[in-house]
Amino acid sequence: MRQKPTVLAREIVASSRLFRVEEVQLRFSNGVERTYERLVGRGTGYGAVMIVAMIDTEHAILVEEYCGGTDEYEVSLPKGLIEPGEDVLAAAERELKEEAGYGARQLEHLTELSLSPGYMSQKIQVVLATELYEARLEGDEPEPMRVDRVNLRELSTLVQNPQFSEGRALAALYLVRDLLTQRGVFQP
């Protein structure tokens, strides 16, 4: 196991309503010193959740929403922040109801993924939701989200969709496809 670098100094060098840029001065075990910048969430630090909601044994739900980062309408998995005092599975259930209009009788935490660990501290919890039923909660989205679906057999086609670009969502879909195949639920 490699020795982590020694932190010599930390300083917030920029801040907005959503993010802070933290400058971190490090000394590595070989004596080399470097300054890194990283994007640090400004929220409460409870994290986020992404849901692979299976409408049946081969189709996952996708939602379309406007994404400020790309300035485009994007298609992805339902996701959102975990509220204070809320556990991962409760957050997944709430976000699924708010964004897609479904609840789930079965929820399973699968893994944690990062987006760009070289410069971002944020991570997201991936949850598998099955045995869906219609249920809607009012969310904080500025407009209704269009709900779509993807066949797990067609993930290579999904990546050609110009509205689908989120790598974490693609990784989660492949993970679920492999998991359901191993369990004998999905036949590729």
How long a stretch of residues is the chain? 188
Furthest-apart CA atoms within the chain: distance in Å: 58
Residue 168 near residue 124, CB atoms below 8 Å = yes
Rounded Cα–Cα distance for residues 124 and 119 (Å): 15
Nearest Cα neighbor of 127 from 55, 79, 73 is 79
Threshold 0.75, pTM exceeds: yes
- pLDDT at residue number 142: 84
Phi, psi (rounded to 5 degrees) for 93: -60, -45
Residue 126: its H or E element: strand 123-134
DSSP annotation of 141: -
Each of the 188 residues of the chain gets a pLDDT tens digit; together they read 888 999 999 999 999 877 789 999 999 999 999 999 988 875 556 789 999 999 999 999 999 999 888 889 999 999 998 998 999 999 999 999 999 999 999 999 999 998 888 878 788 999 999 999 999 999 888 888 999 999 999 999 999 999 999 999 999 999 999 999 999 999 88
- Specify the CATH superfamily of domain 48-183: Nucleoside Triphosphate Pyrophosphohydrolase (3.90.79.10)
- Which whole-number Å values give the CA distances from 108 to 24, 43, 75, in the listed order? 36, 25, 23
For the chain, give every domain's residue range: 6-40, 48-183
- What is the rounded (10 degree) CA torsion for 61, 163, 136, 85? 90
Helices (H) and strands (E) in the chain, counts: 3, 10
Alpha-helical (H) ranges within 101-148 are none
